[in-house]
Structure 1
Amino acid sequence: MDRVAAAPSRMPPNGHLTQIDRRSELAYTPSGHHSAKFWQRLAFVLIRKFIVFIEMLHASSGSGTMQTLYAAVFVVLLQTVLGTYPAEQTYGGQNQYVHVQQHSYGYYKKPAKYCYQCAYSPPKTYYDKKVVVEKVHYGHHKGGYQSGSYGYDNNKQHTGYGHEGGYTKKTYIPVARTVNGGWDKCLGSFDHYQAKDFGVDVWECNSNCYIRKDPNGDIFRGCYKGEYGVDPYRTGCSYQAGSLWCFCEGDKCNNQDIGYGH
């Protein structure tokens, strides 16, 4: 958005010229400056000469095309001369030049700070079930016998009796399986040089930086953007929404150990 300010001096305050002023920088030099009356007289004289010139064209025997061409050239010259007329406004009876300061105002807002952004997951142990299959047998058997006496065979045979069987037995044995955690560089404290060497991300932030540890032991660092509806201005460490939050003010301040000052 442009601001208009009156500058009593012949040169603008910041030394820049407007689009009109750039056409004639003499308007701001002591030797080349003329008053508004001078320019008005000059314009009046040029207009009169233009009228005389048109009358001469009509009186001449030249073609209409050449007359039109001469008139067009004269109008261009007149506009060029009048274009050097400096912009003036009157304040309190004195002529003062109006200088338009051109500024570039965008929609970009410089962030208040930066925060480290990373996440860490601790190693986790999972248990799988291993199945062991066994064949189990049970029962017993009694066999027969033979006997002989008195010179003759007196055979007796017992065919036997008993109970016998089996079944399949399944046993479940737990087997531990450990999964490595995620990026231990985000776990502990680190200085700004280490963060750069580690490659820790840095994000723009218009709130407070935080470190959060959830019930599973996962650790998150970043800029607060409304997660879980907690209070980011409750600096220090406190339990909010089931997790340990550590908020801090300042630039890239969330590089401490989780639980510092708590």
Structure 2
Amino acid sequence: MDRRRAQHLLRQEQPRPARAHHGASRPRRPHRLQPITHERLATPLQESRGRTRRPPIPADWDALDELANALVERSHNHYRGWGDIVRFAACTAARIGEVSGVHVKDINRFDWTWYLCRQTTTGPGGLIDKGTKGKRRRTVPIIEEIRDLVNWRMTVVGNDPMARLFTGPRGGRITTAILRDATHWDEVVVSLGYEYLRRHDLRHTGLTWFADASVPIHVLQKIAGHGHITTTQQYLHPDKSSIQNAGRTLSRHLSADRTTSQTAAPAQAAATEAPARHLRLVQ
């Protein structure tokens, strides 16, 4: 065996020092898992995009009205139009850009519906109007709570069919960013306990209210303008009271036949017997 071969084998037998990884200045610390405590389980928070979010749904009309009034109070010269935009967006489950695109001619005050066919969005030269998202035109109901608001807005713009129903203080188009900055939205929602509430959550609020009122899901899909019903389902956020009511409804359903059999006579029970509750076998 020659000399070079012997030196090569000797170097292989010797233990090599551990190499430091490139760019590693110190060893990595072991990952510590946070203990799951009772307080963490009881906290009604959700994880979204790496940050903690509160459920972003105002509970009822009074909560929405409080939000709208607070936004008006924080805006320059207390512009009432900001509150009208927030109320209209929530009660129609519409996007802010779609609210900006409403013209007087789109509102039918005979059957109180809104023909939604355009939205405001950003373009190369600034804000422009174009077709709705997905080019799906739709008809949206206008509920009684905002009909006086719509009548007042029509009076303000002079009932011109081509007039824009909702505008900024200077009569221009509005966007979600303009609404946020003009009303100090982030500060207001934190003060009201709706941290991380977005303008788009008004749309979630409206669709959830429709669902709580027992509007069928396929009708909600048409109102929202969604291409798939699964998208509409993602907008629905039932609160705790809705879940409790669902349990009570099921209890009444299951106890209906038992109550009938205990109180009615045998002959009457045969005629008024409720349909049997069968277990369902899915094949």
TM range (shorter): under 0.3
Which one has a larger percent helix, Structure 1 or Structure 2? 2
TM-score, structure 1 length as denominator?
Answer: 0.17
What is the TM-score of this pair, normalised by structure 2?
0.16
Higher Rg of the two aligned structures: 1
